[in-house]
Structure 1
């Protein structure tokens, strides 16, 4: 059962998101209420454990590169981060620092790429110079960098060179990561992967600054309804499960795992009643045609990742032509190839989205498997059951909705969207059934 998940292609506010679902659903409320009541009585302890029975955890002092390898080797999207300094603590709030996932990593990569571009494109700065020391926030701010990126590790010399070169007045060369990729080529990797402080950056150091979602565990006796609401209405991608008094993560429930579980309910009356209905009955997709975020196949791959970062999404379709014909899918997890196989992508001047997809596909074909997932699509009149089957059987996180021609992308249906079709939040639910973590925090 795949354990990691993704999200909506466009994430509105929680209230707006849920109101839209509620207003557009045509499903019998009697059935939906019955399911909601049933999930409220099912304890989290009944949910299947992760494969192997042990949750993969990453120590806080693991390097970013090694964290990517761990995620990739175990085919997971995220993992809890354990603080080894609190290994003997019985308090989960001390023992775990949060969750590291590809979302956090992509934010870190993109922001550091942008800052490195400022210095390197100034001319006199070098890859070695960028990584040789640390500059204060004031110097970084001279380049227009703010927040976490302001402490990315540029040398005073590099900052001076950039400022002297007029970068504060004209950022045309290094103003963003795609431009950085275009002009830096192999230097980008020298900075990002082989020079300090990048090659030894630890998970601990980026966790709080780049984390997309809170670390919000539930207890074994919490209801599955609470978990489903956290994974749908409240937009969490994963929910850790902790046993009271034993602050070790017992399970790690993800959007993907839940949809896999729903797919296994085929044949049951309640499931078949819902699954037989077309996705339009649930208001899917939850976006208009022009809201779908795409990337042209001839665009730079780093631009694709930047759009994911800017729009806080986990994937987007690669398209061609004015009619947006879908030709591929880029997932946030694909950034692992840039970090694990930099030798394949040293020339960013040629690294378009299509180059990226083709190179990855051909490389993994030699290993007898395909890693980059081809786009999974459905028509606007598809039934919900077929979408669930595609998500579960293909272990993907989104299905792209195409027009009548079968080519043009007109929407996206995600794991989060599917879960939302089965339940709703009863009035005062979290007032009466506060999540374990929330209640623990309130009791401090």
Structure 2
């Protein structure tokens, strides 16, 4: 009994120990859980649409979303990334001008691109291998996604984490409920209807997010707009490269294979990528990103080199297990192959390693961004040629092979480049380029 008495701890002491274990980030637990739940609900909605519309219609859904993700890079120009940095470190009086300038500039650019797309849609549709309506729908979806991401960055930049996570969850639940009603009660199987619903929910989120934030046209500043776009230039270049590298496989497959193969490929590769995004960006990324920005870079990449293989293997296993669940839920609507699922899981594991290294370089300021851009410039010609050849020769299987090889090439390049850019210091010394006076910009 005496031993039991000694082992007990006061409640206050336990709370302090828990706070120390969370590293001061205990505040993030609730918002992170809600945000992850919202993203999981959105992913579940996509799974429901995939299962009840069929592979061909879901192929159309996937093509439109893939094109939209690429277009979003040009519309957003990484202003959401700028807001993550500028809003927390600026004075409250400067917030209305920052948000107004970012929002109105994005609206002008995005709406201009949309209006320009309509008359030229038939010409743009030819190289993409899709119809004119698909092009217009993809650009409209891109505009809604752009506004969604930008306005979410406003709330996160203002540290309104609980509100933005709750709003995301409510919107995701409404979209899920509406989709289920249309699929099961109204028996609507047209993928374009659900894409239109996605556009509406994105716009509703944006409208609610900006309410009460002091957005006023008078606060717009041309000088501030130029500054914001310069700030986001490096990240935009990175986003453009990755958007093409990890989005063009669907366009290639849509050209060389059938729309049904595109739908099947999305189940094998698209869902695991979305799951990885939920875990990385909405889960651990909330705390991981600031941590990466402040760590000593040579030490960071030394640690990454040590844990990357096991982290990639663990991600691959989780991806394979999640794939089994996906195909069980779809219950025969899509052809199942353990070999294809294993190939997909290998690609996802490499994809996770690349994204961790990319995040570490991106959080290294201008120097890290330049290193990452150089890696992408070096790897893009090889990886695009690889994807094109694999898809043209082997169709669905080739798309999975091409995705895995693309990530393998990029992982190899970034590991070599990071090792050269941030060499390990000699015993008792600092690494080359480190400064004891001025931190990295």
The TM-score bracket by the shorter chain reads under 0.3
Give the structure with the larger helix fraction. Answer: 2
Give the structure with the larger strand fraction. Answer: 1
TM norm structure 1: 0.26
TM norm structure 2: 0.26
